[in-house]
Each structure stands twice: as C-alpha cells, then as structure tokens.
C-alpha cells in the first residue's frame, strides 16, 4: 500500500458507520411519526368540521358518522 492510501480503511469504516446511523435515525423517525388511531370523539369532530366547511354533504356526513359510531 502506498503512503497516501493508509487512511482509506478507517475513513471507509467511519463513512459506513455514519450512513448506518443516519439510516437507523430515518427508520426510527418514520416509526415514531405513525399516529395512533384517533378517538371516536376526535374523528366525529373532524367530520363535523368537514361538514361545516362544505367539504362533504349532509348525506356523506350521516353515513360516515354511522360508520364511526358502529366501530
């Protein structure tokens, strides 16, 4: 090995370690961002908000409300 390449091994190992740590942090962050299911009250409030904003019709609201309450 020439004198200029003596640090290639340790540098390669450090870069590999850094990439591994970044990968683990990305995976952990994605898992932590997964939301727990919202409560029925939260879902009904969101549904009421959608109706008030005109995003859904009264019929859609009634159908979705029935589904939530059956769960």
Q: Parse the chain into domains and list their residue ranges.
A: 1-34, 37-71
Which residues, other chains included, contact 51 with Cβ-Cβ below 8 Å and sequence gap of 6+?
Answer: 58, 61
Q: Are 64 and 71 in contact (CB under 8 A)?
A: no
Which residues, other chains included, contact 40 with Cβ-Cβ below 8 Å and sequence gap of 6+?
Answer: 68, 69, 71
Tokens of 30: 């994605």
Q: Are 61 and 50 in contact (CB under 8 A)?
A: yes
What are the pLDDT digits (tens) for 28-59?
888 777 766 689 999 999 999 999 999 999 99
Over pLDDT 70: what percentage of the chain? 90
pLDDT-based confidence at 4, cuts 50/70/90? low
Over pLDDT 90: what percentage of the chain? 61
Cα separation, 69 vs 39, whole angstroms: 11
């Amino acid at each position: 090995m020439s004198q200029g390449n003596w640090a290639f091994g340790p540098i390669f190992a450090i870069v590999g370690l850094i990439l591994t740590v970044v990968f683990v942090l990305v995976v952990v962050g994605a898992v932590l961002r997964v939301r727990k299911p919202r409560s029925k009250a939260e879902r009904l409030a969101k549904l009421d908000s959608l109706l008030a904003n005109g995003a859904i019709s009264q019929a859609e609201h009634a159908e979705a409300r029935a589904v939530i309450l059956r769960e």
